[in-house]
Amino acid sequence: MQKRCDKPLIVQSDLVVLLDEGKADAGQAREKLVLFADAVRRAGAIHTYRITPLTLWNAASSGMDAEELIAWLASNSRYELPLQAESMIRRLIGRYGKLWLSTEGGKLLLHGSTSVMDELTAHESVIQHVKEHLDDGSWHLDERCRGVLKQELTRLGYPVIDRAGYHAGEELELSLRLRTISDRRFELRDYQQSAVEQFYKEGTVQGGSGVLVLPCGAGKTIVGIAAMARLGRATLILTSNATSVKQWKDELLDKTSLQDSEVGQYGGTLKQVRPVTIATYHILTHRKSKSLPFTHMKLFTERDWGLIIYDEVHLLPAPVFRMTAEIQATRRLGLTATLVREDGCAEDVYSLIGPKQYDLQWKTAEAAAHIAAVACAEIRVPMHSSTAAMYVQASTRSKLRLAAENPAKTQIVEQLLQQHVGKPTLIIGQYLNQLHLLAAKLGVPLLTGEVPQEERQTLYGRFKAGELSVLIVSKIANFAVDLPDAAVAIQLSGSFGSRQEEAQRIGRLLRPKAGNNQAWFYTIVTDETKETEFGMKRQLFMLEQGYHYERLISPIVKDAQEEATAQ
């Protein structure tokens, strides 16, 4: 029997959980912990997680109850579980399912236990939407408040289950192909089918809205297409950029019975509104000035959509949240590799798109060879002497940029390119000046947001065909980039401590690879600077998923210092 002192968890009364990676069962504990807690930070072998109302409600929506969770924590905790922690978990999960919306006779109703409804009467932000208190204890609500009320109840700590149903939307004849246009056999993987069924939930009142979380490279687009086929209704697809719009259209035409005339692209010079329409978040949030309305938000109502798919839902901008609050009667599907949001709007995803319905862990997908195995390494280099003096005197913000653009990083890039010569490699960075200088030095093409879409497609094509083995890309590589064969990524710099960005960049490598199915991700940081602190924060999501960053001190530190001195 395992001794208490060998248990991997320390649970605090404020629902902060410490995971000791030095203990034998730490890996198994992490796999369970991430289902109901968020990673906060790490310090050596100790990883800090926080259990929040939102993480508990997402866990409850997937079937986990308070007693199961408490029993698991107690059995894996080094010390006795604090009574305050037990009480908070029971209270927070206990609120899930105590409120629900329904429609009866065309009326929008809020139901709940008497005690919870009594508590809500103290909140004017809720009561303002009530038209009438009915005899059975339910409330007749303003029909227009469905979205904003869900947002407000979530903010107040009272999650509501939406059983008010959906309108059907325009019918769409759509089926999946057994063979693609290229005559390759096509079928859903088991986990893709499970994800679709979890979203659809035929015969239940909770199906039809929610978020599916799958690693990059695991086929989120395929899951979205399968959900469309399952539903058979006109669909609006919102995604991150023009490249992703093209990818969605190509996949739809390749893997479904849809014809080209049935799939529209909405953006740039094309404003096609068809039974399936694909647009970007950027076009929806376009307006001529801040005082004018959004020009293209009307797309939400231009057809009788039966389904709206939010690709990369973690990137959803605030104006689209506001519009989504007004269309709660339309089925909504969020797709993402990570629900991490750096802007604190995770509650809005939960209340307006829906709870997490399915979550495929990255390491689970890797073990089944559905995605590539990625070796992660952090390489620390000294500050180049040409900028060392400037760094000491610079402001906090300037220090980070100087560290990110450290000229000593170039030698590491050259060494890594020699180490992986011939392998498809992406060099990714945040700062354009740094990238332009490196592109000129290496004689390698540079892909930024300034490059026209047609030229991007040419570079993508050359990279996929093997004509280019190295491509330098700016932060556009954070999102849908059509480079499925990349096996190596070298990160020069990033957006402060963005966990989301780190996951997206590693995601560029995850498509399965021929042979040993191996890929490599390197992040280069300047040692003893603010960049190392941000680097540790960036890695949190991947560490939470079970990845390990090997920390390396540059083997050419001495050479770099000598070169700097010589200059």
Q: List the chain domain ranges.
A: 4-95, 99-162, 190-360, 366-566
The token pair at 55 is: 């993480």
- Residues 112-126: tens digit of each pLDDT: 999 999 999 999 999
Q: How confident is the model at residue 555 (pLDDT cuts 50, 70, 90)?
A: low
pLDDT, average across residues 380-392: 90
- What's the CATH number of domain 190-360, 3.40.50.300, 3.30.70.920, 3.40.50.12160, 3.40.50.620? 3.40.50.300
Q: What are phi and psi of 138, to 5 degrees?
A: -85, 165
Q: How far apart are CA 427 and CA 151, in angstroms?
A: 40
Confidence of residue 19 (pLDDT cuts 50, 70, 90): very high
Q: Which CATH class is domain 366-566?
A: alpha beta
Rounded to an integer, what distance in angstroms lies between the CA atom of residue 460 and that of residue 454?
10
User: What percent of the chain clears pLDDT 70, i.e. is strictly above it?
Assistant: 94
Average pLDDT of the residues of the chain: 90
pLDDT at 327: 92
Task: Give the chain's radius of gyration (CA, Å).
Answer: 25
Question: The tokens of 550 are what?
Answer: 């090997």
pTM for the model stands at 0.89
Q: Is pLDDT above 50 for 559?
A: no
- pLDDT per residue over 180-199, tens digit each? 776 777 889 999 999 999 99
Q: Is the pLDDT at 419 greater than 80, yes or no?
A: yes
Q: Look at residue 250 in the predicted model and tell me its pLDDT.
A: 94
Tell me which residue of 304, 297, 228 sits closest to 266, measured CA to CA: 297
* pLDDT over 90, % of the chain: 65
Nearest to 178 by CA among 256, 269, 289: 256
- The tokens for 390 are 């400037």
Tell me the angle at which helices 385-393 and 396-404 cross, rounded to the nearest 10 degrees.
Answer: 160
441 close to 410: Cβ distance less than 8 angstroms: yes
Domains 190-360 and 366-566 share a fold: yes
Residues 254-264 have a mean pLDDT of: 96
Residue of 334, 303, 324 whose CA lies nearest to 240: 334
CB count within 10 Å of CB 470 equals 22
Task: Give 204's pLDDT tier (boundaries 50, 70, 90).
Answer: low
The Cα–Cα gap between 564 and 323 comes to 55
Task: Give me the mean pLDDT over the 327-351 stretch.
Answer: 88
Distance of alpha carbon 22 from alpha carbon 3, whole angstroms: 15
